[in-house]
């Protein structure tokens, strides 16, 4: 009998355990198990109502305007009958501790039931213009001058389909807002002037950026810079020495020299000086410098003695924008194709041997080859080289420079008082369990 009593006690204990477990193990209601995503429904409702900016327009109307009544009808009409809503509009404040103050609220029910969810939507006034003001390079330090070579007495190469002048114009439009001064260098004489350290319009010469829009060609001033022993290497019958002088000036003035496409400094051009000479491809006013041009430039920037030597480039093929460049594509709103073909990439080891280190990768490095990057010399001067195949995309030049200088963009604040209103649509479900 004792065992039977023990068993009964055990049954009582297990029954108690079951009851206690049943009390605490509360299963969710069917509505909680398979809920309608009210948040998404609210957001898509607001988006639907704002398809032609009708919602935005209504939000800025006076609180007794008939448009609010129409909005209430429209919200009711587009929601299922078992969904109730509360639409509240907040004015965005500025300055004080309170960010939002309620402007108006419309609803079709006294309460939103046991469960509700909401979506927010920011609408902007049609009377306000939102703009972006860029920080100017050199604003907080030296420099800030952008020189764009637009020499009318020189021809370009590997800019197929464009003229240097057209590219210069586009670059000016793209980059001038970001610099203290943007100056078009209209002739090779003006180029000679700045190489001699004379400002064209009173701008700061030091720390400037010089963009060569002539592709693989560089304009050469007549006279001093074309003369033997200065720009012309009589021993090798080459204008590689001019490229050497350019390198020296880049170092002297701490310039950043930008080459937009191909093999930098492969030709020199002056339509008057070389009027009867052509570049072997039928373009008159141009002389081939070949591989020693780049090498001489690097010697100049590194303050080495001039030596007639060949440079090298590589052909890594299809290359991709670096993650940094992709980030700044979004920041500056410049969207070139993320992959390009590189056939004139510079060698990382060669650049390092001239004490040039990469400060910004525009394209990902492929082995020893760098398809596009900004280099800075350990002492002074810099080079941006895009070793891509023709035809050039000047957006890449702009992107590369902006990636390197990183000027900030000051955007109008959407939260400024009077410009925006915050709309909250809260939905609740009625009926059912």
Partner 1 sequence: MAGATIDHLISVTVFLGAILLFISLFNQTIQTAIVYQRHRYLATKCSDLLDNMLLSPGNPLDWGKQNGTPTSFGLQDPEFTQYRLSPFSLMRLNYSEGAPVYYSKTGQWYSNLTMGFGQSLLVPFTEAINYSTAAKLLGINGTYGFSLTITPIITVSISEIQPNPLKLAVNVKGAGFPLANANISYCFITVEATGGEQSYPSYTTDYGTNCTDEQGASVLSFPGFDGTQESYVLIAYAHMSGLVGVGYHEYLRYYENYVVPFISDFATRTVLIAHSWDVHGGDSPAEISYNATFVLLTEDFTLREVPLDNSTGRVGKINYGEGKPYMGITIPTYNPGLLVITYRKSAQESGVVLMPWGISSMGFPVSFGGNSFEMEWVTTDTRQVLVNGIAYQAMLALWSLEGYQVIS
CA 189 to chain centre: 35
| H helices present in 273-388, as ranges | 292-301, 323-332, 348-353
Residue 18 interacting with partner 1 (CB under 8 A):
yes
Residue among 36, 86, 78, 84 nearest 54 (CA): 78
Query: Which DSSP letter does residue 389 get?
Result: P
Which of 12, 416 has the CB closer to partner 1?
12
Residue 54 interacting with partner 1 (CB under 8 A):
yes
Residue 22 interacting with partner 1 (CB under 8 A):
yes
Other Cβ atoms within 10 Å of 160 Cβ, number: 11
Under 8 Å CB-to-CB from 179, ≥6 apart: which residues? 136, 137, 138, 144, 145, 146, 209
- Please choose, out of 1-9, 256-264, 293-301, 402-410, the segment that lies near partner 1 by the rule CB under 8 A: 1-9
Task: Map 40-69 to HEC letters.
Answer: HHHHHHHHHHCCCCHHHHHHCCCCCCHHHH
Query: Which DSSP letter does residue 228 get?
Result: B
What is the maximum span of the chain, computed from C-alpha positions, in angstroms?
128
CB of 114 to partner 1, least distance (A): 17
How far apart are alpha carbons 50 and 46 in whole angstroms? 6
Residues 343-372, one symbol each (x = binds partner 1 by CB under 8 A, - = not), give ------------------------------
CA 268 to chain centre: 32
Residue 23 interacting with partner 1 (CB under 8 A):
no
Which of 234, 430 has the CB closer to partner 1?
430
Q: Which two tokens stand for residue 60?
A: 């800025």
Under 8 Å CB-to-CB from 18, ≥6 apart: which residues? none
How far apart are alpha carbons 247 and 375 in whole angstroms? 13
Q: Which two tokens stand for residue 273?
A: 């000086």
Residue 40 interacting with partner 1 (CB under 8 A):
yes
CB of 82 to partner 1, least distance (A): 8
CB of 117 to partner 1, least distance (A): 12
CB of 136 to partner 1, least distance (A): 33
| 369 strand-pairing partners | 347, 366
How far apart are alpha carbons 369 and 313 in whole angstroms? 8
CB of 178 to partner 1, least distance (A): 29
Under 8 Å CB-to-CB from 33, ≥6 apart: which residues? none
CB of 331 to partner 1, least distance (A): 20
Which of 83, 373 has the CB closer to partner 1?
83
Residues 257-276, one symbol each (x = binds partner 1 by CB under 8 A, - = not), give --------------------
Residue 291 interacting with partner 1 (CB under 8 A):
no
CB of 101 to partner 1, least distance (A): 24
Q: Please work out the total of residues on this chain that contact partner 1, with binding judged by CB under 8 A.
A: 48
CB of 50 to partner 1, least distance (A): 6
Residues 61-100, one symbol each (x = binds partner 1 by CB under 8 A, - = not), give ------x--xx-xx-xxxxxx-x-----------------
- Please choose, out of 51-59, 233-241, 288-296, 300-308, the segment that lies near partner 1 by the rule CB under 8 A: 51-59
Residue 413 interacting with partner 1 (CB under 8 A):
no
Q: At what angle do helices 292-301 and 240-253 cross, to 10 degrees?
A: 30
Residue 11 interacting with partner 1 (CB under 8 A):
yes
Residue 4 interacting with partner 1 (CB under 8 A):
yes
Residue 2 interacting with partner 1 (CB under 8 A):
yes
How far apart are alpha carbons 177 and 133 in whole angstroms? 9
Residues at the contact surface with partner 1, assessed by CB under 8 A = 1-4, 6-8, 10-11, 14-15, 18, 21-22, 25, 27-28, 32-37, 40-41, 44-45, 47-52, 54-55, 58, 67, 70-71, 73-74, 76-81, 83
């Amino acid at each position: 009998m004792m065992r039977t009593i023990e068993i009964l006690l055990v049954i009582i204990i297990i029954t108690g355990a079951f009851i206690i477990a049943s009390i605490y193990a509360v299963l969710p209601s069917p509505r909680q198990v398979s809920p309608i995503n009210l948040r998404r429904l609210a957001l898509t409702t607001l988006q639907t109502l704002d398809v032609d900016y009708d919602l935005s327009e209504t939000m800025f109307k006076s609180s007794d305007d008939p448009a609010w009544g129409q909005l209430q009808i429209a919200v009711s009409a587009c929601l299922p009958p078992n969904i109730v809503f509360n639409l509240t509009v907040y004015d965005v404040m500025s300055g004080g501790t309170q960010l939002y103050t309620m402007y108006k609220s419309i609803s079709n029910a006294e309460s939103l039931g046991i469960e509700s969810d909401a979506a927010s939507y920011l609408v902007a006034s049609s009377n306000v213009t939102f703009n972006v003001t860029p920080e100017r390079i050199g604003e907080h330090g030296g420099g800030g001058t952008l020189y764009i070579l637009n020499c009318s007495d020189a021809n370009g190469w590997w800019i197929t389909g464009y003229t240097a002048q057209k590219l210069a114009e586009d670059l000016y439009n793209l980059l001038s807002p970001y610099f203290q001064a943007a100056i078009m260098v209209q002739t090779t004489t003006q180029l000679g002037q700045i190489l001699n350290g004379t400002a064209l319009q009173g701008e700061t010469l030091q720390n400037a950026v010089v963009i060569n829009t002539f592709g693989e060609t560089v304009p050469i001033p007549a006279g001093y810079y074309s003369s033997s022993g200065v720009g012309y290497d009589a021993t090798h019958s080459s204008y590689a020495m001019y490229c050497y002088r350019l390198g020296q000036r880049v170092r002297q003035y701490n310039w950043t020299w930008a080459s937009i496409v191909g093999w930098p400094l492969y030709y020199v051009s002056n339509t008057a000086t070389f009027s009867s000479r052509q570049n072997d491809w039928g373009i008159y006013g141009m002389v081939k410098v070949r591989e020693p041009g780049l090498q001489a430039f690097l010697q100049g920037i590194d303050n080495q003695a001039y030596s007639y030597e060949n440079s090298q480039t590589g052909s890594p093929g299809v290359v991709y924008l670096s993650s940094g460049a992709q980030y700044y594509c979004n920041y500056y709103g410049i969207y070139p194709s993320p992959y390009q073909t590189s056939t004139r990439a510079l060698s990382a080891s060669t650049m390092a041997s001239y004490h040039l280190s990469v400060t910004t990768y525009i394209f990902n490095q492929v082995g020893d080859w760098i398809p596009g990057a900004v280099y800075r010399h350990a002492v002074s001067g810099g080079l941006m080289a895009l070793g891509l195949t023709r035809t050039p995309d000047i957006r890449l030049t702009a992107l590369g420079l902006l990636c390197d200088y990183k000027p900030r963009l000051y955007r109008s604040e959407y939260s400024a008082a009077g410009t925006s209103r915050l709309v909250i649509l809260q939905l609740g479900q009625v009926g059912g369990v």
